[in-house]
A and B are shown apart, each in its own frame.
Chain A
Amino acid sequence: MKLIPFITAGYPTLDAFWASLRELDDNGADIIEIGVPFSDPVADGPVIEAASQQALANGVTLRWILDGLRQRKGQFNAKLVLMGYLNPFLQYGFAQLAADAAEIGVYGLIIPDLPLGEDAEYRAALSERGIHLIPLVAPNTSLERMKEYAAVASGYVYVVSVLGTTGERQGLPADVQATLQRARQAFDLPLALGFGFSHPDQLDAIPTADRPDAIIFGSALIRHLGEGGSAGAFMRRWR
């Protein structure tokens, strides 16, 4: 099982973020999703929303994130993905973002408020620079719509485990297996399951055949970091 930690850029402090990024990379992260903070994170639960607010208070901007990654270019084994809401990307200038991200070696973008239907021009701008726009699918995404995503998607698929926001949950939602099965049928890409995960044991309830290729965890890690824990210690829980 591949591991995809999510951390909000610049949380809990600017320096601690860069240290965490390195620790995640040193401790087996296959992909690291870097949260670009936004004032109105509508798909996120309270932990990531609070982390975003803290990051903004720390002065984090998209430009600061890209500058920091540029300085550290080539230092990470993990693929780096930027995850954030559309508006900060728009104000930066989407074509410029695609160019800068490509230069830095960013693998992909995840934009939770950019569903299929609104995505064409943005996907094209990224694709021109070889950057993936990672699709999100949810328990209420039909097989038909997943196939529409599959026709244009690249990178991997973010399978949202639950109809809700990000945040730790006990156990697993009942329909997660069915969601994974539909996604497996629709996509030829790796499936990464996220929303609600704090411990690898949660996946035991899913039969081996239906398990995802990767697990994404965000809120649990953010809470651990907020309580003064280290990213390395958190990652060792998963090995």
Chain B
Amino acid sequence: MKKGYFGAFGGQFVPESLVPPLRELEAAMETILPSAAFQDELDDLLRNYAGRETPLTFCPTLSGRLGFNLYLKREDLLHTGAHKVNNTLGQALLAKMMGKTALLAETGAGQHGVATAAAAARLGMSCRIFMGADDVERQAPNVMRMKLLGTEVIPVATGSRTLKDAINAALREWVATQATTHYCFGTAAGPHPFPLLVREFQTVIGRETRAQMLAKTGRLPDAVVACVGGGSNAIGMFHPFVSDASVRIIGVEAGGTGEAGCYHSAALGKGISGVLHGEYTLLLQNADGQIEPSHSVSAGLDYPGVGPEHAALQASGRVEYHAVIDSRALNAFSTLCHAEGILPALESSHALAWVLDNPDALPKGGNVVVNLSGRGDKDMEIIRRSL
């Protein structure tokens, strides 16, 4: 297969000026990343700073209702509140060992921004975060957290003033600052090698889940389920199970408000292949190739594209992808709060909602794992207005 591709998807569609830093990163993945010095320090950071390993929590109340055993992989318990920190600690440490002194990143809801800001502060690096101007207003608490962590937050007022425009701005900034700066990309998308690099740091989710399920039940789960925006928590959960034919793998996209023709974020379900942000993948776009606005009640899923490996896993049929609309995600949020005393992120609530709304599609008496990729504290204002 061509370098940087997953089936027909992926690649490195960037301006020539970004080819050298991407190649520098590819080289570091081959030399620094496998070294004991890197792996030992990352392991220490994940254990003693971020809070790994995360628990695999059995849900007794919901399991009784659903007729199968529901487990949650508790990425919500990590430092900074979501799986994002697995990736930012890995990339920040790699960048530091490459001799970079600064990080830059995009953020949508602010979770990746906060996780990058924390990693930068911890490792003594400076940090600049690009964030859509609308998101800066909608996600004020995360903007405050980033600033408190010593990061500069730069509002991006161009285009749709959301995540995709923040990525455009960050890529532009990286062209100019590449000598000293690493672009800490937030999801398993973008130009090669980011989809591989982010997967590398997120597969800790699936590896732990696998070992925990074997220890608890003596067998692999019957199904693993995760939400998909760009797709980093999902690829982290899925990848270690892809070659286990007995494990059903289910990705859940954001279906938006749900009425006919509504804005949504379901690039896998409804997208058309094309090129955005350095990769060939499925995109929400019009017939002229202009990128269309996306929507989700959950800002972390609100993106008009998807990582190339998900597009390939869908094409091969190994992973099934479904969409859940805003109102069902909110219902799942409330259900988990009341039934199990866990307050999930609205992103993760999409994955949970598919399971709650489709119990007959899953095996009676079986074991199902939902990746609870983040906690819902950040979503209080949206939930207050929605419930």
Contacts and interface: CB of A to CB of B under 8 A. Distances in A.
A40 B175 contact: no
B126 interface: no
B20 interface: yes
Contact of B285 (A41, A43, A49, A87): A87
Interface residues of B, number: 32
A41 B290 CA distance: 11
A150 interface: no
B12 A118 contact: yes
Nearest to A136: B16
Interface in B166-190: 168, 171-172, 175-176, 178
Interface string B253-288: 000000000000000000010111110000101011
A113 B287 contact: no
B15 interface: yes
Given A46-B158, A163-B175, A137 B276 contact: no
A42 B172 contact: yes
A55 B278 CA distance: 23
Interface in B187-203: none
A38 B15 contact: no
B62 interface: no
A238 interface: no
A105 interface: no
B172 to A, nearest CB: 5
Contacts of A85: 275
A43 B15 contact: yes
B7 to A, nearest CB: 16
A91 B172 contact: no
A56 B15 contact: no
Contacts of A112: 15
Contacts of A160: 16-17
Given A88-B288, A140-B178, A42 B277 contact: yes
B14 interface: yes
B278 A113 contact: yes
Contacts of B19: 115-117, 141, 145
Given A38-B290, A39-B291, A165-B175, 12 more contacts: A42-B15, A42-B168, A42-B171, A42-B277, A46-B158, A91-B285, A112-B15, A113-B13, A113-B275, A116-B16, A116-B19, A137-B16
11 contacts: A39-B159, A40-B168, A42-B14, A42-B171, A43-B175, A53-B159, A86-B275, A118-B11, A145-B19, A163-B17, A163-B175
